Structure 1
Amino acid sequence: MKIFPRLLAAASLLLLAACVPRTAVRLQGDAGLLGEQQARERLLAGVDHWTLQGRLGVSDGKNSGSGDLTWTQDGDRYEFVVRAPVTGKSFRLSGGAQGALLEGMDGGPLHGDDAESLMHKALGWEVPLRELRAWVLGLRADAGPAELSFGNDRLPSLLQQDGWSVDYREWDATRQPPLPKKVYAQKPPYKVRLSVESWQMGKGGEQGVGNGEH
């Protein structure tokens, strides 16, 4: 039931190899840095209508997959479309509080109680989508305690939560508040690499947060 054939694995490994961690400045979260983060989180807390486009790479330490990603969040509803660049095949994961639907698989659409378990069952991918919805905005998720470290730009550099280490490699500081451009999460042996090419905030691409179109 794997959606990506073996010929995609080589391209995926090249993508993941390019994501080898670099040496980063890590500043402990003092009162000033944490205060700035809390202000960002307050500004973004109500932002639940957005679309991002970029690249997604996933690995379980043995197998990997990658593709172009379009992720649309509309309140509790989501649509997660991954298109494989080599095969041209794609799958669409959508749903909300009432369950999840995975389309594009051999054998027809698949239904499940939630997106994470459905994706794991069908693809073998371990992607913490509930937490990633917050992490991709540079926020702490509602998944228990979190530890933050910051870079010289005073933005989060490393977030550790729910057993995952989330490495923020690049931010779009032209937006206010800034939004992540590269988010690399890992919980050995699982790795998720997300490179954001564009953000659209608000329904229909309306700019609710930030400045300008990206």
Structure 2
Amino acid sequence: MKLPIRLIAVALPLLLAACVHKETVRPPAPKADFAALLDQQRAREHLLAKTDHWVLQGKIGVSGPVNGKSEGGSGTLIWTQNGNSYDFVVRGPVGSKSFRLSVTPDGALLEGLDGGPQRGQDPETLVENALGWHLPFRDLRAWVLGLRSEAGPADFKFGDDGLPLQMVQGGWTVSYPAWDTTREPAVPSKVFAENPPYKVRLSVESWNIQQ
């Protein structure tokens, strides 16, 4: 039995479309396994291991209890790292605290607060006593670059882009909501660290890294 020419004309495009659709369907790309992603992280860490001269500019927010009350602070941040020394300069909104923390292997100097300059051997203790800000400076230096610090073992979660999405180390959970992938290797543009009841949020507006 022959099909009417009009019926063939209608059915033929539908059959061709079905064939084309079938040919263009592709299975989803397999996700990289955890071991491969961890190897990529080790490669990033190797490339950035000697990166100790840089300037980070952005914004910082800190919250946590002070004298039994939940307190916080925020401001613009300029962090200048020069080897084992650094300057950590925070400028708060009008009416808020602004300060400059200068750290060398010999100790720390905190300036800009009422009462004059303050000195101490440990920058974390110095800032917490003066401001109530609980900042893990020793580890944060590595975390802002997306690296593990010397605080001990770390557990990672990776994003679809293969970069760390979250790292748990030394009692802190460090999240990386955004990365600057225009650099090679990539560096974080947002770093959120939390060790309840303490929180630190960094939003990086620019990196100036000297190789």
| TM-score, normalisation: structure 1 | 0.80
5+ long unaligned stretches in structure 1: 1-26, 203-207, 209-214
Contact 2:124 2:136 in 1 (8 A): yes
Structure label with greater radius of gyration: 2
Q: Deviations over 1:18-50 (max 9, x none)?
A: xxxxxxxxx997110000000000000000000
> Which secondary structure state, in structure 2, belongs to the residue aligned with residue 138 of structure 1?
coil
Q: Which structure 2 residues correspond to residues 108-147 of structure 1 after superposition, within 5 A?
A: 108-147=116-155
Q: Please state how far the C-alpha of 1:89 moved relative to its aligned partner.
A: 5.3
Displacement over 6 Å in runs of 4+: none
Q: Per-residue deviation at 1:104?
A: 0.4
Question: Relative contact order: is structure 1 or structure 2 higher (C-alpha 8 Å, sep ≥ 6)?
Answer: 1
Matched residue pairs, number? Answer: 177
Indicate the percent of aligned positions where both proteins have the same amino acid.
Answer: 59
Aligned to 1:36: 40
Please name the residue that 1:103 is paired with: 111
The equivalences for 1:145-160 within 5 A come to: 145-160=153-168
SS in 2 for 1:175: coil
Structure 1: how far apart are the matches of 2:36 and 2:112?
Answer: 47
2:188 paired with 1:180 = yes
TM-score normalised over the length of structure 2? 0.81
Match of 1:55 in 2: 59
Contact 1:29–1:149 (CA under 8 A) maintained in structure 2: no
What is the DSSP-based 3-state SS (H/G/I as helix, E as strand, rest coil) of the residue aligned with 2:152?
coil
**Is the CA contact 1:146–1:161 (under 8 Å) kept in the aligned structure 2?**
yes
RMSD over aligned CA atoms reads 1.5
CA contact (8 A) 1:185 1:191 kept: yes
